[in-house]
Amino acid sequence: MTGNAYQDRTDRFAGMLMRQAAWPAALVVAANILAPLAASARGGFETLPAAVALSITAASAVAVLALSALLAFDALLFRVMAGHDDEASGGAAVDDMLARMRLKPAPSTTRSLEDRMAGTSRLLFKQRAALALFATALLAAGFWAPR
């Protein structure tokens, strides 16, 4: 892969990750701000099923926000990679940075860009699953709230 093609692909992936980190986090924060207002207008979440659903909502909200933070961090790491001329030097720079931050031990070989993107895509899938659980639990809490 030539330097420009590598840099363009890595930069596009980093931009996509930043967007995918931002909108679910914003959605969760907005829902957590608006849900208590809606609940107080309807009489609260005093039934046991609604309380359980709210507990699941809170746990999944934390998961979505944590995964969004990890995706934003990965996006920044891909931006660092895009700042290098080739895949090997970009991957080595990220590996060195993670080792100096004591987040990961220094690997013996540098992973390919495709391997790194696949790992981040799995993280993106987990974020989407947590977001789906959050939305489902929030709707369930609203369903079981007194009318």
**pLDDT tens track for 74-101:** 999 999 999 998 999 999 999 999 999 9
Place of tokens 């004591």: 102
Alpha carbons 97 and 79: distance in angstroms, whole number: 13
- pLDDT below 50 — which residues of the chain? none
Among residues 124, 118, 145, 138, the alpha carbon closest in space to that of 50 is found at: 145
Check if the beta carbon of residue 26 is closer than 8 Å to that of residue 131.
Answer: no
Alpha carbons 138 and 144: distance in angstroms, whole number: 10
Among residues 67, 78, 81, 73, the alpha carbon closest in space to that of 124 is found at: 67
Residue 103 CB-half CA count within 13 A: 10
Question: Which helix (H) or strand (E) segment is 69 a member of?
Answer: helix 48-82
pLDDT score recorded for residue 24: 96
